[in-house]
Structure 1
Amino acid sequence: MKKLLSTLFTLFIVLSVSAHAVFIETSLKGTKGEPHALKIVYGEPNEHELVSKWWWYKEGMQINLTLIKPDGSTSTLATTAQGDHLSATFVPDQDGVYHVSLKRDTERKEGAKTQYQINAIATIHVGHSTLGNTASHLANELFVFTGQTSFKNKKEVSLTLFQKGIPTANTAVQIIAPSGWVKWLETDAQGVIKFIPEWKGKYYAEVSRREKVEGQSFEEYSRTSSMSFAVN
């Protein structure tokens, strides 16, 4: 019993703050023919640092987002620097599920042994079609995905972690609730985590993994990734 309680405490520990990460903030519902706004923020959900303080962003640097439409076609969205975020917009032209993806290797100092990579995903549903709601549309090397089209409070949520297109087991994923409460869950053999949300609102999933590499001028990749979903 003590071992079970210890395990549950480790996996479901409640924390007051979470680590800084890159998030794409946007409404997860869009309307065909109407502009849809996106924000790239750095910090913690609802506590964003000024762009000038982002260690991975240099003044004037262009950060591009990849827009994946429901039919699988892609386009590039350029961002504009604002006070505490980068902004972008697109206009949905078909019903279905859109994905907006950020993937970027950060600037690495000469001689540094670790290459950091930032990944972030946002999924926007337009209309009632589920066309495009597939992990195969995403080219990020690390991301959390869900095939669910809606999330209900007190009902089980299922998320899958992918690395290089393969479900990834035995990895801790951080779930950040609307209240700021944090839960850590470990993926199972199929790369899946499941939990029951306790509040309505927007949730974030965040994960990081390190990978040893050969034939590069550095020794390892350190990747982070985030996504969000809304519980009604």
Structure 2
Amino acid sequence: MKKLIVSILTFFVVLSASAHAVFIETALKGVKGQSHTVKVVYGEPDEHEDISKWWWYKDGMQVDLTLIKPDGSTTALTTTAQGNHLLATFVPDQEGVYHVSLARDTERREGAKTQYQINALASIQVGRSTVGNVATHIVNDLFVYADQGAYKNKKEVSLALYEKGKPAAHAFFQVIAPSGWIRWVETDDKGVARFTPEWTGKYFVEVSKKEKVEGEAFEEYSRATSMSFEVK
């Protein structure tokens, strides 16, 4: 019984225990030829901090996002400040899977031993085509990839974690359910984590990993990444 209780406490915690993160919020389905809105937010899902409080961004209220089209071509999306989020839009000109990514080293204080890096990813299905639904189009140092546009409730979900272009084996990340609970999942030898969702709606994922470095003005990289996926 004691082991069971420990397991429950390990795998399920309330959302308030989650650290703040940078998320890309957007509709996970788009329409060719129609403007699509993308938001960059900081905080917790549905609980966003004002831009003025964002610790990770100090060079002005603008962040460049990378839009990766289904054919693999890329373009920059410029954001504008909107109170508690940054806003960008684009018009899909082809059907398939688009990816919007953010990758940024935060401002590091002189003498600090850790360099923090923010990564975020959103994948958007336009039409029924699956062209572009490949992790190789994404170049972030750390990201979680969902190989389906949407998953079914009560059916197993597979998510792959990549670090510097390679599957990250035996790493933990948080899956935040629409109910407000978090489940910790671990990747296997191939960098894939599996779990069975209990609710429908939009799920968020957060991951953080550290890497020792040499030859730099700091001793380690601390990377964080986030993404979302849908369960129907």
Q: Which amino acid aligns with 2:165?
A: G
2:128 counterpart residue number: 128
Q: Work out whether 1:23 is the aligned partner of 2:23.
A: yes
1:85 counterpart residue number: 85
The answer on whether the counterparts of 2:12 and 2:181 sit within 8 Å (CA) in structure 1 is no
1:13 counterpart residue number: 12
The size of the alignment, in residue pairs, is 231
The answer on whether the counterparts of 1:49 and 1:84 sit within 8 Å (CA) in structure 2 is yes
1:178 counterpart residue number: 178
What is the rounded CA distance, in whole Å, between the counterparts of 1:79 and 1:54 in structure 2?
Answer: 15
Q: Render the CA deviation track for 1:42-82: whole Å, top value 9, x for unaligned.
A: 00000000000001122624310000000000000000011
What secondary structure, in the 3-state scheme, does the structure 1 residue paired with 2:7 have?
Answer: helix
1:72 counterpart residue number: 72
RMSD: 1.4
> Aligned ranges for residues 95-110 of structure 1 at < 5 Å?
95-110=95-110
- Scaled by the length of structure 1, the TM-score of the pair is 0.96
Tell me how far 1:170 sits from its aligned partner: 1.4
What is the rounded CA distance, in whole Å, between the counterparts of 1:9 and 1:60 in structure 2?
Answer: 43
What is the rounded CA distance, in whole Å, between the counterparts of 2:176 and 2:2 in structure 1?
Answer: 27
Structure 1's unaligned 5+ residue stretches are none
Q: Which amino acid aligns with 2:14?
A: L
What secondary structure, in the 3-state scheme, does the structure 2 residue paired with 1:8 have?
Answer: helix
Tell me how far 1:19 sits from its aligned partner: 1.0
The answer on whether the counterparts of 1:105 and 1:117 sit within 8 Å (CA) in structure 2 is yes
1:160 counterpart residue number: 160
Structure 2's unaligned 5+ residue stretches are none
What secondary structure, in the 3-state scheme, does the structure 1 residue paired with 2:52 have?
Answer: helix
The answer on whether the counterparts of 2:149 and 2:230 sit within 8 Å (CA) in structure 1 is no
What is the rounded CA distance, in whole Å, between the counterparts of 1:16 and 1:165 in structure 2?
Answer: 30
The answer on whether the counterparts of 1:11 and 1:185 sit within 8 Å (CA) in structure 2 is no
1:212 counterpart residue number: 212
Between 141-150 and 58-67, report the one with greater CA deviation: 58-67
1:139 counterpart residue number: 139
The answer on whether the counterparts of 2:149 and 2:229 sit within 8 Å (CA) in structure 1 is no
Tell me how far 1:11 sits from its aligned partner: 4.5
The answer on whether the counterparts of 1:11 and 1:186 sit within 8 Å (CA) in structure 2 is no
- Scaled by the length of structure 2, the TM-score of the pair is 0.96
Report percent identity of matched pairs.
Answer: 67
Tell me how far 1:148 sits from its aligned partner: 1.8
Q: Work out whether 1:113 is the aligned partner of 2:113.
A: yes
2:37 counterpart residue number: 37
What is the rounded CA distance, in whole Å, between the counterparts of 1:84 and 1:221 in structure 2?
Answer: 27
The answer on whether the counterparts of 1:52 and 1:59 sit within 8 Å (CA) in structure 2 is no
The answer on whether the counterparts of 1:101 and 1:120 sit within 8 Å (CA) in structure 2 is yes
Tell me how far 1:7 sits from its aligned partner: 6.5
2:224 counterpart residue number: 224
